[in-house]
């Protein structure tokens, strides 16, 4: 946060955007973007993009996953991830960290032994 405070201090002192860019190794466009944010919001804190909720941290997801899997172990990582608004891949990683298995996302044909032998013969 020290860098942001120094940039805000420079804005208050009316330092040019070119000089701020040279000092902090930023382009003029980046400085102008921060300057606009500083004038509109009063600070230079990171602002989340509208419409894109921030994902939960993996720790919170792990606790929630553990509780939900304990209640219903048949649920897939995709189902759990969708509820927590995190990606399917992150959900799979969380389950792996917990030592649990993410179930397959699609149901496959359940073949009998006779069907497997027929497929093997056809393949030959």
Q: Are 37 and 62 contained in the same domain?
A: no
Burial 55-76 (b: 16+ CB within 10 A, else e): ebeeeebbebbeeebeeeeeeb
Model pLDDT, residue 117: 92
Q: Residue 75 sits in which domain range? A: 58-97
pLDDT one digit per residue (tens) for the chain, 124 residues: 578 888 888 888 888 888 988 988 989 888 888 888 888 888 787 766 676 555 555 667 777 777 887 787 777 777 778 887 778 787 877 777 777 766 655 556 778 899 889 988 998 8
- Whether 65 is in a domain gets the answer yes
The number of folded domains in the chain is 2
**Gap between the Cα atoms of 9 and 28, Å rounded:** 17
- Whether 115 is in a domain gets the answer no
Model pLDDT, residue 121: 92
**Gap between the Cα atoms of 40 and 38, Å rounded:** 6
- Whether 19 is in a domain gets the answer yes
Q: Looking at the whole model, is its pTM more than 0.85?
A: no
Q: 39 is written with which tokens?
A: 């004038």
């Amino acid at each position: 946060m020290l860098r942001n405070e120094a940039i805000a201090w420079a804005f208050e002192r009316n330092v040019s955007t070119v000089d701020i860019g040279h000092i902090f190794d930023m382009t003029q466009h980046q400085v102008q973007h921060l300057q606009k944010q500083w004038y509109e919001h009063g600070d230079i804190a990171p602002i989340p993009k509208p419409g894109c909720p921030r994902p939960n941290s993996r720790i919170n997801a792990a606790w929630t996953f553990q509780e939900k899997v304990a209640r219903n172990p048949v649920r897939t990582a995709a189902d759990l991830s969708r509820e927590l608004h995190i990606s399917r891949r992150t959900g799979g990683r969380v389950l792996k960290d917990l030592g649990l298995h993410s179930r397959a996302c699609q149901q496959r044909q359940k073949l009998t032994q006779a069907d497997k032998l027929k497929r093997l013969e056809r393949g030959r």
